[in-house]
Amino acid sequence: MVKKEAVGNKIVTMGKSTLLVAATLTVGLAQAQAATLDTVKERGELKCGVNSGLAGFSNPNDKGVWQGLDVDLCRGVAAAIFNDPSKVQYIPLNAKERLTALQSGEIDVLSRNTTWTSSRDTELGVNFTGVNYYDGQGFLVKKALGVASAKDLDGAAICIQSGTTTELNVADYFRKNNINYTAVVFDTSDQTVQGLEAGRCDVLTSDLSQLYALRTKMSDPEGAVALPEVISKEPLGPSVRQGDDQWFNIVKWTHFAMLNAEEMGVTKENVDSMKGSTNPDMRRFLGEDADFGKGMGLPADWAYRIIKQVGNYGEIFEANVGQSSPLKIDRGLNALWTDGGLQYAPPVR
Ligand SMILES: N[C@@H](CCC(=O)N[C@@H](CS)C(=O)NCC(=O)O)C(=O)O
């Protein structure tokens, strides 16, 4: 089912557009072979594919400025390259079009609540660079339904969005547990929320992080509750086109720099004073005594730029989705490994 999305689907089902997709793919591959970093520098900005509006992850604020955890990844890459996190053009994409946009060269990086799966990683010409949010799929029901467990959902109508991992997970879960359901499939997440509110379905299923975000859009958020079951692994992360290892490294190490900074206690506020540190790890990280940027075509202070302009992982987590945000999501699996979580970065050395 997952394979039905993106390019695979178009090649199988559409006559004329097959050629079009093949042509854009060729262009995309040619671009991937040219150094993306050079293209981005010449253009003067990075093209970042994001969710068109997912609170906490990527969402334009009332001034039209993009904000969120996924947005901050792109801001970090721009800070490393340009010393200016605003040098990013955001391209809003829905679930179905996101991977095609990366394949065709329309964007340089996809940073849009996308689950790292084997088929996406090996069949679609893209590479995932890491996991910036460990998630899992859950269910949101109206409290009035009086359901306490997903196992009680026999016969339920379920609102789902097409082009996502969600569709297959829910089919597997209900089959495994011998429960019947009716899928009510929509193209956008807003439609799934409206579907739940209008009674088109009894339950909405999606990544848990999205349930938190979508609940804030409901007219009565308190009237909806997430069920305790988490039915899948959804490691969400950025991806790039295959064929350009330098670019792959830049995006991968932007995330790792944010994690290492949190682990070392380097923040947006204290990073300047840390430059005077005598700790060899700190001096290496900030590019004081060593140059770990050159292998990526970046300046020696690439990591300093990211932290100074955007922040460490803990800072961007708290501001966008954590306790300082309306979502108030706990760190959970996204705590650093030193705090019992899964977030772990190789060292800068
Ligand atoms: N992580 C899952 C789901 C990602 C996803 O696209 N979720 C939907 C459901 S809430 C979404 O973000 N929709 C917003 C949109 O398409 O505009 C995946 O990679 O397939």
d(CA 126, CA 131): 15
**Sign for the pseudo-dihedral over CA of 117, 121, 124, 128:** positive
At 5 the pLDDT is 29
Mutate to test the pocket of ligand 1, among 119, 187, 189 (most ligand atoms within 8 A of CB): 189
Task: Tell me how far the alpha carbon of residue 315 lies from the centroid of ligand 1, in angstroms.
Answer: 24
pLDDT mean across residues, the chain: 91
Residues 6+ apart with CB under 8 A from 82: 44, 45
- Residue 53 alpha carbon, nearest atom of ligand 1: 17
pLDDT (0 to 100) of residue 216: 85
Distances (CA, A) of 236 to 70, 300, 342: 10, 29, 13
Cβ of 232 closer than 6 Å to ligand 1, yes or no, is no
| Mutation probe of ligand 1 site: the residue of 133, 188, 193, 210 with most atoms within 8 A of C-beta | 210
CB of 194 shorter than 6 A to ligand 1: no
Residue segments in the chain with a per-residue pLDDT below the cut of 50: 1-24, 26-27, 30-32
- Spell out the domains of the chain, with CATH numbers in brackets: 2-134 (3.40.190.10), 137-232 (3.40.190.10), 244-339 (no CATH)
The pLDDT assigned to 183 comes to 96
Look at the block and give the residue holding tokens 């969402």: 59
Report how far ligand 1's centroid is from the alpha carbon of 296 (Å): 31
pLDDT at 13: 31
Which atom, in ligand 1's list, is nearest to the CA of 164? 20
